Amino acid sequence: MCTVKQLHEDMLIRFIAADADLTLLWAAAVGKRPGVALRQKVVWITGASSGIGEELAYQLSASGARLVLSARRENELHRVKRKCLELSSLEDEDILVLPLDLLDRSSHREKTDAVLQHFSKIDVLVNNSGRSQRGLFLNTDIDVYSSLMELNYLGTVSITQHVLQHMIHHGDGIIATVSSIAGLVGAPLSSGYAASKHAIQGFFNTLRTELTDYPNITISTICPGPVVSQIVHNAFSEQVNKPLSNAGDQYHKMSTERCVRLILAGLSNRVKEMWIAQQPFLLVFYLWQYTPTLAWYITSLLGRKRVQNFKAGLDADTAYFTKPKAKTS
Ligand SMILES: NC(=O)c1ccc[n+]([C@@H]2O[C@H](COP(=O)([O-])OP(=O)(O)OC[C@H]3O[C@@H](n4cnc5c(N)ncnc54)[C@H](OP(=O)(O)O)[C@@H]3O)[C@@H](O)[C@H]2O)c1
């Protein structure tokens, strides 16, 4: 028979091995499968030309969802579309390539109309486009802060407003937004990025409460920790048009494949907030939510390490528990 001590040990081991919050892990284990819940749904993905959005396109197409692929680089979207067609039984007309610049808010109505003209409906909008930031506040131009808010916050809010009007008319839908662990927790070197993601969290938490008369419309925020993608390569540095000198190695992060598998489980089961991260980041989510004083202590330690890693030319999230060595190449 299992003793209380063994039970506690078992729970601790499970938590150490966990890479998402309990609700999401439950949804992934016993909830509705994406191949059932999302089959034939029309899913509009922004930022589908690389990283998490690209992988979302592959897994959603394999689940039988019809897709709208948006981002600025049209050639990359066509590449993603070709691979989606290879991976699925979808036909050419089931995937619409729709170039979109989230910063061009005056185009968002026309883009939404183009989707509706092609598919007659939008079941799921995944607001995934975004850029991150690497740089200390005192060294960073204020224009970087305004660019981050324009893209990550206002661009997302604008496209949401157009799509939500359609969903309200239709009486059903999911608006899922890829926020970040930085939407809940302060992240040194990313103060503008964290501010834009905190704004996203505040906006969508409020919108969800405004929509209580529409129980079939789900507002979902997705909060990943570090995940393999082009995010660091594309991050803002201290100046708007200056690329980051060294993105660092990304190998230590959660795989894009695993992150997206969890996102699909969350979408299939209409989970309202998803925490997706390997340890120690998952622990930080829980501490931040339930024991803020301890969270401040731990995040200060991790934050100091993050800045040290950055100054040593490494990815900011690498080597939390070892002494960072500067890159030689
Ligand atoms: N990877 C992580 O560690 C991580 C962690 C937490 C949250 N996130 C969030 O995950 C989301 C996806 O990022 P990712 O990690 O997959 O990074 P990524 O590989 O750099 O992808 C970012 C996507 O955003 C698009 N994009 C950038 N500027 C745009 C604009 N003006 N208009 C339209 N699309 C634009 C890019 O496409 P084009 O360049 O073709 O426009 C690209 O498809 C972001 O919201 C990010 O904040 C990522």
| CA 256 / ligand 1 centre spacing (Å) | 12
Please give the Cα distance from 68 to 74 (Å, whole number): 12
Residue 286 bears catalytic tag: no
| CA 129 / ligand 1 centre spacing (Å) | 4
Mean pLDDT of 193-205: 98
pLDDT in the model for residue 158: 98
Confidence of residue 320 (pLDDT cuts 50, 70, 90): low
Strand order in the sheet with 217-224: 95-97, 66-70, 42-46, 124-127, 173-178, 217-224, 273-276
Number of the ligand 1 atom closest to the C-alpha atom of 253:
3
Q: What is the SS3 assignment for 218-266?
A: EEEEEEECCECCCCCCCCECCCCCCCCCCCCCCCCCECHHHHHHHHHHH
CB atoms within 10 A of CB 142: 8
Question: What is the tens place of the pLDDT at every residue in 229-247?
Answer: 999 999 999 999 998 877 7
CB of 183 shorter than 6 A to ligand 1: no
pLDDT in the model for residue 308: 87
| CA 93 / ligand 1 centre spacing (Å) | 25
pLDDT in the model for residue 146: 98
Closest of 242, 145, 157 to residue 192, by C-alpha: 145
pLDDT in the model for residue 327: 46
Name the least confident of 17-26, 140-149, 307-316: 307-316
- The yes-or-no verdict on residue 11 having pLDDT over 80 is no
pLDDT in the model for residue 15: 77
What residue segments make up the domains of the chain, in order of their start? 4-280
Higher-pLDDT residue of 22 and 248 is 22
Main-chain phi, psi angles of 248, to 5 degrees: 75, 170
pLDDT in the model for residue 302: 84
Confidence of residue 316 (pLDDT cuts 50, 70, 90): confident
pLDDT in the model for residue 329: 37
Confidence of residue 2 (pLDDT cuts 50, 70, 90): low
What CATH architecture is 4-280?
3-Layer(aba) Sandwich (3.40)
With pLDDT > 90 as the criterion, what percentage of the chain qualifies? 81
Residues in the chain: 329
Question: What is the tens place of the pLDDT at every residue in 95-143?
Answer: 999 999 999 999 999 999 999 999 999 999 999 999 999 999 999 999 9
pLDDT in the model for residue 7: 76
By three-state DSSP, how is residue 70 classified?
strand
Protein residue closest via CA to atom 1 of ligand 1: 227
- The yes-or-no verdict on residue 20 having pLDDT over 50 is yes
Q: What is the SS3 assignment for 90-128?
A: CCHHHEEECCCCCCCHHHHHHHHHHHHHHHCCCCEEEEC
* Of 77, 131, 153, 156, best ligand 1 pocket probe by most atoms within 8 Å of the beta carbon: 131
Mean pLDDT (the chain, rounded): 93
Percent helix / strand / coil, the chain, rounded to 5: 50, 10, 35
Alpha helix (H) ranges present in 141-190? 142-148, 156-170
Residue given tokens 């919050």 in the structure block: 21
Considering 58, 145, 153, 193, which one is annotated as catalytic?
193
